[in-house]
Amino acid sequence: MLIYKVAEIRKEADGVKIFRMVPEGDSIKHRSGQFVLMHFLDNDGRSILKRPYSIASAPDSPYLEFCIKMVGGDFTSKLDKMKKGATVGIQGPLGNMSYDGERCVFICGGTGIAPVMSMIRDIAKKNAKGKFLVFYSVKKRDLLVFRKELEELSKKNPSINVILTLTQETPEGWSGKCGRISESMLREFVPDPKDFNWYLCGPLKMTQAMRECLLGMGVNEKKVYLEGWG
């Protein structure tokens, strides 16, 4: 376990905070899409509470970035009170949610955007060529995280296409999609689904439903990668 210091905290969306943490010594080496265990430590440096969180920053970033919803649990209540300069333990990296190939589709809901953001940032930094689509679903517009950066990345790299959809409102001036991500929405942008690798991240109910949808569309289950919670 390595020690990281909180370098920046900002509110990104309603109920969501972004934490940037820098190493106090050695740093972890991760692949885009992986997660770590974050630990609160006692005065002797021993873990007293831990939770898994996906890394939102690209592998070559000098910091780790996390996108965390303040849900009022034991861990997030402590995070919500955390100040710049505080330290935590970081264990990892863990997980196999890392993109592969030149034709990838990412489907995410809520703060499930975090590992997707890591992968898209990595794709953008490498100026990767191919076809990379992000379907990002939230209930309301003020819950969107990283919206501006996602739009900028898609403008800079024509290989990246971002589709935003809202499930519980249609605000004035909204130019994205409305409604849950469905087979018809996917086929509108991905007419050849069997030719892509698919990465699903978000609430477990959503990711499992999307997996069944993709299998029903004829996608090989070996091309579907899932990370869900709840």
Are residues 74 and 59 in contact, defined by beta-carbon separation less than 8 angstroms?
A: no
* Residue partners of 41: CB distance under 8 A and separation at least 6: 47, 48, 87, 88, 89
Per-residue pLDDT of the chain (230 residues; tens, 9 = 90+): 999 999 999 998 889 999 999 999 999 999 999 999 999 999 898 999 999 999 999 999 999 999 999 999 999 999 999 999 999 999 999 998 889 889 999 999 999 999 999 999 999 999 999 999 999 999 999 999 999 999 999 999 999 999 999 999 999 999 999 999 999 999 999 999 999 999 999 999 999 999 999 999 999 999 999 998 87
Topology classification of domain 2-94? Elongation Factor Tu (Ef-tu); domain 3 (2.40.30)
Beta carbons of 225 and 97 less than 8 angstroms apart: yes
Residue 226's alpha-carbon distances to 2, 80, 106, in angstroms, are: 27, 28, 10
CA atoms within 13 A on the CB side of 224: 21
Please tell me the CATH code under which domain 103-229 is placed.
Answer: 3.40.50.80
Order of strands across the sheet that contains 160-166 = 177-178, 160-166, 131-138, 103-109, 197-203, 224-229
Q: How far is Cα 13 from Cα 36, in angstroms, rounded to an integer?
A: 22
- Annotated domain spans of the chain: 2-94, 103-229
- 0.75 surpassed by pTM: yes
